[in-house]
Amino acid sequence: MSFPQRFSAPSSSSFPSSSSSPPPTPDEAIRSTDSDAALSRLSAVSASYLSDPFASLFIRGRPPRESYRRPPLINIGTHARTLGVDELVKKFLRGPGKEGGQIVSLGAGSDTRFWRLMSDPELKDSVKKYVELDFDEITSRKAAFIKKSKVLSDVLGPSVTIEKSGTQLRSPIYSLLPQDLRNPLPADLIEPSLPTLWIAECLLVYLDPEISEGLVKWFEEKCDAWVGGIVYEMTGLNDSFGKVLISNLSSRQISLPSASLYPDLSSQPLRFSRNGYSSGSGVSNINQIRSETISTEEKERTSKLEMLDEIEEMELLFAHYFISWGWRASRGQGSSSESTEDSWGL
């Protein structure tokens, strides 16, 4: 899901065009947020905030720029979110996963991270397994894009199989699996002996509390090697901004049942420490990522791309979105491992 558009109510395009059309089901509404995120990413790429040659390959047709152009604060937020998560992934692949690790992206949607990692000569050899999970409606669309694009499919190599009526794609390293995350995860999803990183971007907050907590705990219980997680979503929804956001999402048939589990920024690391990630955890909101993680040179570069006169509005928005992380060293290794305690996090 992308940042909400300027705190306003959803546009008319968010609703059925015909008065006789039924409203979207909650699942359909949540699936639609992937299109929002894909277009926001394409907007940030077209405005030169991000370099991502794969962003346009998961969007049907050639949409005119005016159809996906986002306001500057949305582009800046997408830039910070992407660089923040990318930094944690890179630190995983240069640290605990350096000799070979696996990444699982939950509710991956149209994410391009696998292809971007495979384009990085310093990181690609560390990725031994990369798995994406999502609704079968999403995976079937993504599998079709991959099959159609030589740029995407060439990265996977010649041994690619498409199964389950086109909803599942497997290759030696990359797998795209249809999975309703409210159901139990496949027992063979991961290799327990490999360092493991899971990613959940705007996912857990949409799930019932026992399900979202169960997913976090599942990886800790299944992994014998180092295991860590990354969460990106919204927080602090009890103020006026949060109430507007919740109202807007509700009008789109979207609810946030797990938002109350960790209601503010300071509580976010508890998601990990309560579920066995005993080696460390942390959190940064988007304002903090921009000030502490993104380099001065990169901020100077992006500040010249578009004129922004809504600084207070932007900082209010960014204070409500965060990236959190937590990890547990390999079983029997303790919590003082140099590759985990000293180096993983923002």
Query: Is the Cβ–Cβ distance between 37 and 202 less than 8 Å?
Result: yes
Instruction: Kindly report, residue by residue over 278-294, the tens digit of the pLDDT.
Output: 999 999 999 999 999 99
| Six-digit token string for 246 | 């919740």
For residue range 217-258, list pLDDT tens digits in order.
999 999 999 999 999 999 999 999 999 999 999 999 999 999
Please indicate, yes or no, if residue 3 is contained in any of the structural domains.
no
Q: Is residue 21 part of a domain?
A: no
Q: Estimate to the nearest angstrom the gap between the alpha carbon of 37 and the chain centroid.
A: 10
Q: Check pLDDT > 50 for residue 309.
A: yes
Query: Residue 306's pLDDT is what?
Result: 96
Split into its structural domains, the chain has a count of 1
Q: Distance (Å, rounded) from C-alpha 90 to C-alpha 92? A: 5
Q: Could you tell me if residue 82 is inside a domain? A: yes
Q: What angle do CA 92, 31, 189 make, to 5 degrees?
A: 40
Q: What average pLDDT does the structure give for the chain? A: 91
CATH of the domain at 144: 3.40.50.150
Taking residues 95-121, what's their average pLDDT? 97
Q: Is residue 217 part of a domain?
A: yes
Query: Between the CA of residue 232 and those of 3, 216, 321, 339, what are the distances in Å?
Result: 12, 13, 7, 23
pLDDT confidence tier of residue 334, bands split at 50, 70 and 90: low
Tens digits of residue pLDDT in 21-56: 788 899 999 999 999 999 999 999 999 999 999 999
Q: What percent of the chain has pLDDT above 70?
A: 91
Task: Assess if residue 126 is contained within a domain.
Answer: yes
What is the residue range of 271's domain?
26-341
Q: What is the pLDDT of residues 184-199, one digit of tens each?
A: 999 999 999 999 999 9
Residue 131 has pLDDT above 90, yes or no: yes
What mean pLDDT do residues 307-322 have? 93
pLDDT at 9 over 50: no
What pLDDT band is residue 135 in, cutting at 50, 70 and 90? very high
pTM of the predicted protein model:
0.92
Residue 113 has pLDDT above 80, yes or no: yes
Per-residue pLDDT, 20: 60
Inside any domain, residue 136: yes
Q: For residue 268, tell me if it sits in a domain.
A: yes
Residue 28, both tokens: 């359909």
For residue 167, pLDDT beyond 60: yes
**With 70 as the cut, is the pLDDT of residue 68 above it?**
yes
